[in-house]
Amino acid sequence: MALTFEHWNPETALRFKKFVPRKGIDGFLNIRIEDVEPGKLSASFEVTDDMITMIGNMHGGCLSAFCDHVLGVVLYPVMPEGSWAATTEFKINLLKPVSGGKCIAAAEVISMSKTTAVVRIDVTNQDRLVAAAQGTCLIMAPKP
């Protein structure tokens, strides 16, 4: 059931892999894009003390924001140049507590039209599946 994509922009993929966020919520989490292929992407961040709550676990909002971010990013290399993607909805199951180490998201586009795409994400931490997400992005064509 592998999808084929009309567009594939390796320069966008390469730019993402080199990108170091300096601000924003992706900067707060310090998200790095690790691998990109058509319709698939892996990204990661290191859990820092600043993300740990009083209970001793990472705030779930870090994984929610991480998935929200990755949901859109996976689409850029397979959209026509100049398009943009916005997450319109997603659902996440937070499966296990996280208290340190690295969180790695594997995102996969499972359905895509000219205007919309559905993406699934698995997040692992220390070899455990810690979150699973599924959501929709709206694709906006480049302005003529």
Structure tokens at 141: 């064509």
Question: Does the protein bind its own copies through residue 53 (CB under 8 A)?
Answer: yes
- Point out which residues pair with 138 in neighbouring strands: 86, 116
39: tokens are: 């319709």
Stretch that binds its own copies, among 8-16, 38-46, 56-64, 75-83 (CB under 8 A): 56-64
Least distance to its own copies from the beta carbon of 28, Å? 5
Is residue 12 a contact point for its own copies (CB under 8 A)? no
d(CA 69, CA 55): 25
What x-and-dash track marks residues 14-33 binding its own copies by CB under 8 A?
---------xxxxxx-----
Total chain residues near its own copies (CB under 8 A): 49
Q: How many Cα atoms occupy the beta-carbon half-sphere of 43 within 13 Å?
A: 29
Supply the minimum distance, in Å, between the C-beta of residue 97 and its own copies. Answer: 7
Phi, psi at 19, each rounded to 5°: -75, 130
Instruction: Considering only residues 73 through 102, tell me which ones interact with its own copies, judged by CB under 8 A.
Output: 84, 86-97
| Contact status: 55 vs its own copies (CB under 8 A) | yes
Least distance to its own copies from the beta carbon of 24, Å? Answer: 6
The token pair at 34 is 């690790």
Residue whose C-alpha is closest to residue 44's, from 69, 76, 75 = 69
Rounded CA gap, 78 and 101, in Å?
31
* Residues found near its own copies in the complex (CB under 8 A): 1, 23-28, 50-53, 55, 57, 59-62, 64-69, 72, 84, 86-97, 110-111, 118, 120, 122, 124, 127-129, 132, 134, 136
